[in-house]
């Protein structure tokens, strides 16, 4: 390598002699600092997530929960609820009121931790396999797919709430999802009742 005052005119004999470091023409720090978040980096994953991405994640979760609810509602309307073949899906409120022993009127977290809910759900889940066996194969497949979608939505929402426990929208979506699950379990229970049929 030979000495030269002009860095560009300097000669090299290996590529490793090329400068690894090149200073940017202007100081980029003010622009970077302006975009750094107020919170400490990595304090919590939720806190570190940029606001825009957080909003997108919430929208995705909301969309997923809505799709799951809609799919379940339509499926119940068409396949399980006797006399509902007219094409009008039952409303959430109507279905909620059909759950024995559980008749919430508003969304609140006490619904989830209600011991009556827990007891009812446990009993329904225990009898689920037996009840499913009584359903025709296509209906069974739809129920399983719906329950799997609901389970996935629950897990996603619970994870999101773990990161942002005070988020009211997430709480509401989670309650909705619990109710959807309960509704499917109840409808399966009723639909597979020998006295009612599909």
Partner 1 sequence: MSAGEHFRFLENVLPCGDEGLKPFRSGAPLTVQMPHAQAEETRVDWGGALLERARAGDRRAFERLYREHVGRVYGLCLRMTRDAQLAEDCTQETFINAWRALGKFETRSSLATWLHRIAVNVSLAKRRRSGQVEPLPEEEEGMAAGEWILETPVEVQEIESAIGGLPDGARDALVLHALYGYSHVEAAQMLGIAEGTCKAQLHRARKLLRERLGVEVS
Tell me which residues touch partner 1 (CB under 8 A).
1-2, 7-16, 18-26, 28-29, 31-33, 35-37, 39-43, 48-50
Question: Which residue's CB is nearer to partner 1, number 49 or number 127?
Answer: 49
User: Under DSSP, is residue 108 helix (H, G, I), strand (E, B) or coil?
Assistant: coil
Question: Which residue's CB is nearer to partner 1, number 53 or number 126?
Answer: 53
Q: How far is the CB of 56 from partner 1 (least distance, A)?
A: 15
d(CA 98, CA 183): 8
Question: Which residue's CB is nearer to partner 1, number 140 or number 163?
Answer: 163
Q: How far is the CB of 10 from partner 1 (least distance, A)?
A: 5
Nearest CA among 193, 154, 190, 153 for reference residue 76? 190
Q: How far is the CB of 26 from partner 1 (least distance, A)?
A: 7
Q: How far is the CB of 160 from partner 1 (least distance, A)?
A: 18
Q: Is the separation of the CB atoms in 193 and 163 below 8 Å?
A: no
d(CA 128, CA 189): 7
Nearest CA among 183, 172, 152, 189 for reference residue 89? 183
Question: Which residue's CB is nearer to partner 1, number 29 or number 105?
Answer: 29
d(CA 152, CA 132): 20
């Amino acid at each position: 390598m030979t000495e030269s005052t002009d860095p560009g005119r300097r000669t090299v004999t290996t590529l490793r002699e090329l400068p690894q470091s090149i200073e940017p023409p202007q100081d980029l720090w003010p622009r970077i600092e302006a975009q750094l978040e107020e919170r400490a980096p990595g304090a919590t994953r939720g806190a570190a997530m940029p606001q825009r991405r957080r909003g997108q994640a919430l929208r995705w979760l909301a969309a997923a929960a809505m799709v799951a609810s809609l799919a379940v509602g339509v499926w119940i309307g068409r396949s399980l609820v006797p006399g509902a073949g007219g094409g009008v899906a039952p409303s959430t409120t109507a279905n909620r009121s059909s759950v024995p022993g559980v008749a919430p009127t508003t969304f609140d977290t006490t619904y989830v931790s209600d011991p009556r809910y827990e007891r009812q759900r446990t009993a329904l889940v225990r009898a689920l396999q037996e009840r499913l066996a009584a359903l025709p194969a296509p209906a069974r497949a739809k129920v399983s797919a719906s329950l799997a979608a609901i389970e996935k939505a629950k897990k996603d929402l619970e994870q999101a709430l773990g990161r942002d426990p005070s988020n009211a929208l997430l709480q509401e979506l989670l309650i909705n999802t619990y109710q959807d699950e309960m509704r499917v379990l109840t409808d399966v229970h009723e639909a597979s009742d020998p006295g009612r049929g599909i």
